[in-house]
Amino acid sequence: MAFLDVKGVRKTFRRDEKTVVAIESFDLQVEEGEFVSIVGPSGCGKSTFLHIFGGFETCDSGEMLLDGRRVSKPGPDRGMLFQEFALFPWKSVAGNIGWALDAQGMPKDKIAEVTERYLKLVGLGGFRDHYPGELSGGMKQRVALARMLAFEPRVLLMDEPFGALDAQTRELMQEELNSIWQQTRRTVLFVTHDIEEAVYLSDRVIVFTARPGRIKEQMKIDLPRPRGIEIKKSAEFMDYRNRIWDLLREEVLKAREEFR
């Protein structure tokens, strides 16, 4: 059995007295330590799938298993990072990272130790006493990432985490995440609209169809690790990028027709 095992998931919504099928007959297997990105047209169910796996929404049918146990509600074995930073403005950087640990009843000396470790991991050791209003967008997202990593979930669920950042900061955050993943080897499900981001970060890229969301194709990214940013200039990288876009373009056009 795969570490993450998704079987026959279906999800519908009611909208304007009509039933909208967001995800249909969805199956996915992910191995422990694998970095998997999901790309697809807007509205195809990518984020919905992530929210179901996080336990924040329920599916109509099918099941999701994490290491053999059914997922039915949020839990500390899964951490979720959204596009919005969702930091507490009245707490310092260290306070934001330690908040979840405190809520779990961890002793204060242990919280300080863990917080310091993850501050260093995301390169913010010198900003522990700063507040979110004093940080750039990229730094805020690094705080949010450190907070998620600090309670050591087995799976990281990341929903367009760099989507609100400018192009330069986004590329730096990709490098940062790549380095952190190399050190921690956590299992990652990463939703993005950026094909180059997906290729650079991933072991495998899942291409969703237009709604209802299904897997159109899965592409193994056979590029060497550890990956430096220079890999983006290689012919192999661009070949993966172009092949995924060829698969995705048809689905994007289908989705556009639906909304006309």
Residue 41, CA distances (Å) to 27, 157, 245, 254 in order:
18, 19, 11, 9
Is the Cβ–Cβ distance between 143 and 132 less than 8 Å?
A: yes
Is the Cβ–Cβ distance between 47 and 19 less than 8 Å?
A: no
Range list for CATH 3.40.50.300 in the chain: 4-77+155-258
Residue 208, CA distances (Å) to 191, 219, 240 in order:
11, 12, 16
What is the homologous superfamily of the domain 4-77+155-258 according to CATH?
P-loop containing nucleotide triphosphate hydrolases (3.40.50.300)
Q: Which pairing describes strands 69-70 and 215-220: parallel, antiparallel, or unpaired?
A: unpaired
pLDDT, one tens digit for every residue, the chain (260 residues): 799 999 999 999 887 778 888 999 899 999 999 999 999 988 888 999 999 999 999 999 999 999 999 998 999 899 999 877 789 999 999 999 998 888 888 999 999 999 999 999 898 999 999 999 999 988 998 999 999 999 889 999 999 999 888 888 899 889 999 999 999 999 999 999 999 999 999 999 999 998 888 999 999 999 999 998 999 999 999 999 999 999 999 888 877 766 66
DSSP state of 213: B
